[in-house]
Amino acid sequence: MPSNLRHSSHVFSRRASLLAMSGIASALTGTLAGAATDSTTTINWDRIAQEFLMDRSLLYLNTGTLGATPKSVVEARCALGQRLESNPAGEGFGSILLEAEAVIPKIADLIGCSAKEATVTRNTTEGMNFIAEGINLQAGQRVLVSNHEHPGGLRAFQFLKKTRGVEIDVAEIHSPPQSEDEVVDSFRKAIQPKTRVIMCSYVHFSNGLRTPIARLSELAHQHGCLMVVDGAQASGGVAVNVKELGCDAYASSGHKFLLGPKGTGILYINEQARDQITPMQLDDGLGFYTAIRGTGSMPEVIGLGAVLDWTRQIGRSAVFDRLMSLRNMLYAVLEKTPHIVPKSPPPGSSMASQLVCFSVDDRGRHEKLKAQFTQNKVLVRGVNIDGVDFRLSVHLYNTEADIARFEEILLKGVT
């Protein structure tokens, strides 16, 4: 704890218990009570889908860009903002700051690391920037990435190319690859003697591929490289345990599949790699407030902690299973629709994620489908990488009725 905060810990414990009784915690418990129709096995997903502020005239299939936060968390965050404004320095350097710091162990629990290895950021991009800047790459050293990386993960390394003469190599991955071996071999072939970093998304934003990161980490370490993972599309959508992934650093967003407030992110740096990844802003450790980081957005970060609690109450693996089940329904719709080609791994594949992507077999139909989506308020992500045209991403506000509505609109759009 920063020394300027120590005096206020008694305030924190009093306010924390008040919060537990009447603030975020009870709002969440209250809202979810009754969500499960049977306390152990059956979850009433339709009931949970109602817990959001989502505009129901939309068919929202774009959580991969931004997810919606549960209404109870939005309300609790607003109340917290008001409390902060009632005594900015007293609360902001007192109990509320301590509540924000307390979110870090929740992040550590989420991704399976120690609290000393995790922190909050504003987004994936900021986390990836911290990592890239912290590696101290020199001219001529090389970074190996896939051909499906998002600018949020890539731009920091491109900056190092421009300013320091770092080289970037690309491993080509098809949409979808036939096997994990194909992906690993593509990286293996592209490694060079001066490669120092392998950077890859855990879930590719473009084709929904769940990359075999554990195997890539092994490959990286065999070649004396650091393994850096862009987890923007992974956390909240698929199970993530950074120790099982074996990576040295991992960054993700709070505002996508974790359903957190916008402008939140999470970052992991393996303790063993801390001497090789030394971002300036983390020089005083990974705390929320440190001398070299300064003041952050407390209501947003505390809201992120609250949504992690909200999801835990449902059960993280139940959520992953639900998303995968909705995604598999979408895959089945794509597979049976004429002129549509799924570009993501099929159901049951170890490389399938909650994202499902597809292409349309001719440009005229592609344009017609785009117009159909606009007209019917279907929110999807256009891709345009490696022959992929569209990405669909579901979350708990989506239901079987949404899949049926999508099927109808898709068919109209391509026939």
Residues that bind ligand PLP (CB under 6 A): 65, 123-125, 150, 152-153, 201, 205, 230, 232-233, 253, 265
Nearest approach, Cβ of residue 128 and ligand PLP (Å): 7
Nearest approach, Cβ of residue 194 and ligand PLP (Å): 25
The separation between the first and the last C-alpha atoms of the chain, rounded to the nearest angstrom, is 62
Q: What is the dihedral of CA 320, 323, 328, 329, to 10 degrees?
A: 150
Nearest approach, Cβ of residue 124 and ligand PLP (Å): 4
Q: Which is nearer to ligand PLP, 232 or 356 (CB)?
A: 232
Q: Which is nearer to ligand PLP, 177 or 236 (CB)?
A: 236
Nearest approach, Cβ of residue 109 and ligand PLP (Å): 21
Q: Which is nearer to ligand PLP, 97 or 234 (CB)?
A: 234
Number of H helices, E strands in the chain: 16, 13
Phi, psi of 146 (to 5 degrees): -95, 170
Q: Which is nearer to ligand PLP, 93 or 250 (CB)?
A: 250
Please tell me what DSSP assigns to residue 238.
B
Q: In this structure, what token pair is assigned to residue 321?
A: 């299973």
Burial code (b: 16+ CB inside 10 Å, e: under 16) for 241-252 equals ebeebbbbbbbb
Q: Which is nearer to ligand PLP, 265 or 413 (CB)?
A: 265
Asked if 112 and 240 touch (Cβ cutoff 8 Å), the reply is yes
Q: Which is nearer to ligand PLP, 113 or 385 (CB)?
A: 385
Residue whose C-alpha is closest to residue 247's, from 122, 129, 112: 112
Nearest approach, Cβ of residue 255 and ligand PLP (Å): 6
- Please identify the residue of the shown chain whose CB is closest to the bound ligand PLP: 152
Handedness of CA 346, 351, 352, 358 (dihedral sign): negative
Nearest approach, Cβ of residue 175 and ligand PLP (Å): 15
